[in-house]
Amino acid sequence: MTFVMFIEILVDSGMTMAIVQRKDLDPRDLDSIFWLNIGLSLLLTLAGFLSADLLSVVVENPEVALIFAALSPIVFIKGLTVVQMGLAQRDFRFKVLAVRGGAAAAVGGVVGIACAISGLGLWSIVAQNLATAVIALALLWRLGSWRPTLRFEWQRAASFFRFASGVLNSQIAVFFSNSIDILVVGAFFGEAALGVFRLALRIVNMAVDVFVRPIQVLAVSQLAALQHDPPMLRQAALQVLRISTTIMFPAMAALAVSAELIGALLGDEWRDAESAVRILIFIGLAKSITLLSGPMMLALGRSHAVAFGSWVVCGVTATSVIAAGILARGQEPSAQVDAMAWARSAAFALAVTPVQLFFMTRSAGLPLRSLLKAMWPAFVLGALTLLGGISAQLVARAFDASPTVRGVVAALASVLVAAVVIVRERRAVRNERTLSSSPETEGDAHQRESQGGDSQDSLN
């Protein structure tokens, strides 16, 4: 799956983001990109089939060859979705993408479970991924209106390369940055520590994927629509930053106080993941703060600057986790997992965040004080959520409650506090918007709509 995911990055080659960012699109541009991606995906799918045996030799597992060959068609399916995905994001049709993703995941899940019950074992996961990809492809084309014609102009496809190559370079850097700690843990500490660390990292990344990633995807489309209106661009950027941190800070606080549930629900062998989760929440906080860095630079057409920043992140992450792996080698598994978690979090908090904030402030002309002003409600909301969860946990501990009950009480209390304070914050933002808005003429309204009114509505 790791190799398939990497090949999918090559198939996209940054073209989806290039379609979103390009101000004016000609139908011939889309046709040229489509047929170029079809050719590339066919070549990579064929390469996947031919290299399956070599991969099985490298990992010393003959079964990998069959699995990799069976998963290779997903690469071609990815090539059929690039233009449709780019147009859907460009036109803010995120409801279409949500319906497509949810339905495909549901059908794929049913197929996978049915195959597992039938005794197919590992092949049930292969069937699940193939079914999900096919259903997602069918729905994307069914819900989208664009259709290709038999036109291809190399010059038009090549005109997207400069921007797309920067996006591709950045995606490769992010891929290696997300994989390096897994490789280091597996190489230095073994499977047990790797499993615990992967669980802790997955929990935090799931929170990021749920609360931050959708806002980031929307931000690219929104900011790209406002790229030629700097005042509106800065206003939208601050709004996105306030929303992302307002959601993520309470979510991470709730996750910190309820981490005790991991060992209670999954067993004592996973209890070492609790402290690792509490350490890794700093990554979630940092990602919500630096959410705008990439979208802002991409919206302004500076994809190669994004790539440079991504490789800086990759280098810092690799250096920190390798150093932690060397220093913690020979220690207890719990200490090894915590060492990797601290290395990952320290890299983000002390190196990645300042670099990305620098790019963000320079690219949009946003002073640091404006960013801090947009984020200060998130700090308050996070502190209140943390306080509510800890207080409930202490009360449960005073009544000699079990770890499971303490974790559940802390989780419910922190989530309840987070929901209340987020609702109040949202209401306050609405009141501020109402008070600050001024009557606008019909011409002003039309201009605002043409410059990204749809994106503002989507974000709201």
d(CA 102, CA 424): 30
d(CA 385, CA 416): 8
Give just the sign of the alpha carbon dihedral 391, 396, 400, 405: negative
Segment holding 52, helix H or strand E: helix 27-58
- Cβ 306 vs Cβ 333: under 8 Å: no
Whole-number Cα distances in Å, 323 to 124, 189, 194, 344, 367: 38, 13, 16, 11, 35
pLDDT tens by residue, the chain, 460 residues = 777 777 777 777 778 878 887 777 888 888 888 898 888 888 888 887 787 777 777 767 777 788 888 888 888 888 888 888 888 888 878 788 888 888 888 999 999 999 999 988 889 989 998 999 999 899 888 888 888 888 888 888 887 877 788 888 888 888 888 778 777 777 777 777 888 888 888 888 888 888 877 777 777 777 777 777 778 878 888 888 888 888 888 888 888 888 877 877 777 778 888 888 999 998 888 888 887 777 777 777 777 777 887 888 888 888 888 888 888 887 888 888 888 889 888 888 887 788 778 777 777 677 878 888 888 888 888 888 888 888 887 887 788 777 777 778 877 887 787 777 677 766 766 666 565 555 444 444 444 444 444 444 444 4
